[in-house]
């Protein structure tokens, strides 16, 4: 990998950019679009993202290290959510630039709570997401003017994370605010997370997508085994639920639901990893895990 050209360029810029917002505004979808690969899982269920995930985009003159964060949670009070909220506030202290993602034509008290967390000493770019769903685009300008009064934003950019609309404009708005640095990662890297982590996240995504409100958001996934056998990845994963009734829901009648979760997760893994995957999934009951400090730490939440 040749990084001599960027390193020799005194105008080269690189830095960390936090992507923040309330749950379900499209933060993870935006991250995946910006880096051109699925590295952060998405679903309609709140709090799908739990960890800080770095997505890396590199061009000829700059490197953007985007940091996907959990949606700041105000409704559900638990040790798990407290840890995720701390992660959001810590991330805001550590980065160079912040992207606040809100949904087009929607700015409510939940968004205002996130605005209160925004640092006053760092540039914040407002990304107005889901503009592709607006039947009347003339509504955008008045809404942007109203929203701009909520905070001293460095820029306001309407985007569509779903179809990639106006993402080059978002990149252009961020670039001037990055510090002049050499690249922080290799040019071909797209995330700081390893395949073991991504495998667990892909199983969890299918769990939420296929079961929706039937299963609580606190459900988690542990990778018990990840072994390379030539070009084959042999992966054993455990879905951790809080109650035995939830285990029955995940397994489904004659095991059909669990089989579907595993099949769809395996296909996504093979696409992400570029090779064959053997995936075996079990379901385990661990009561009260979302409130247990030791379990949360072992799962990387605290």
| Binding-site annotation, residues | 21-28, 68-72, 129-132
Whether the Cβ atoms of residue 283 and residue 247 lie closer than 8 Å to each other: yes
Binding site for GTP, by residue number, is 21-28, 68-72, 129-132
**How, if at all, do strands 220-229 and 155-158 pair?**
unpaired
d(CA 28, CA 51): 11
Label residue 228 exposed, middle or buried (CB < 10 Å: 0-12, 13-18, 19+): exposed
The DSSP annotation for 158-208 comes to E-BTTTTBTHHHHHHHHGGGS-B---SS-TT--BSS-HHHHHHHHHHHHHH
Residue 161 CB partners (closer than 8 Å, separation 6+):
26, 29, 30, 33, 101, 129, 130, 167
Whether the Cβ atoms of residue 36 and residue 188 lie closer than 8 Å to each other: no
Please give the structure tokens belonging to residue 192.
């700081």
d(CA 141, CA 285): 50
Angle made by CA atoms 118, 123, 124, in degrees to the nearest 5: 50
Please give the structure tokens belonging to residue 221.
């996934």
- Give residue 289's region: left, alpha or beta (phi > 0; psi -120 to 50): alpha
Whether the Cβ atoms of residue 103 and residue 26 lie closer than 8 Å to each other: yes
**Other residues' Cβ atoms within 10 Å of the Cβ of residue 290:** 23
d(CA 140, CA 17): 25
């Amino acid at each position: 990998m040749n990084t001599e050209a960027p390193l020799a360029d005194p105008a080269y810029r690189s830095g960390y950019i936090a992507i923040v917002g309330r749950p379900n505004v499209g933060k993870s979808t935006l991250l995946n679009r910006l880096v051109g690969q699925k590295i952060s899982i998405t679903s309609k269920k709140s709090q799908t993202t739990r960890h800080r995930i770095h997505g890396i985009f590199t061009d000829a003159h700059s490197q953007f290290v985007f940091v996907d964060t959990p949606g700041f949670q105000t409704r559900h009070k638990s040790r798990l959510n407290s840890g995720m909220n701390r992660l959001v506030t810590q991330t805001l202290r550590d980065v160079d630039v912040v992207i606040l993602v809100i949904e087009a034509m929607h700015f409510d008290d939940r968004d205002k709570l996130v605005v209160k967390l925004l640092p006053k000493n760092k540039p914040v770019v407002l990304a107005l997401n889901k503009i592709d769903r607006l039947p009347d685009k003339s509504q955008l300008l008045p809404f942007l003017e109203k929203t701009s009064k909520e905070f001293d934003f460095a820029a306001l950019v309407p985007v569509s994370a779903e179809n990639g609309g106006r993402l080059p404009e978002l990149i252009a708005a961020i670039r001037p605010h990055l510090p002049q640095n050499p690249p922080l990662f290799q040019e071909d890297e797209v995330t700081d997370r390893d395949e073991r982590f991504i495998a667990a996240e892909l199983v969890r995504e299918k769990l939420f997508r296929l079961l929706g409100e039937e299963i609580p958001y606190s459900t988690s996934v542990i990778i018990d085994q990840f072994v390379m056998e030539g070009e084959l990845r042999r992966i054993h994963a455990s879905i951790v639920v809080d109650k035995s009734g939830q285990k029955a829901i995940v397994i489904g009648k004659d095991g059909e639901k669990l089989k579907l979760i595993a099949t769809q997760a395996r296909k996504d893994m093979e696409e992400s990893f570029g090779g064959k995957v053997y995936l075996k999934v079990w379901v385990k009951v661990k009561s009260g895990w979302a409130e247990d400090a030791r379990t949360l730490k072992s799962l990387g939440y605290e």
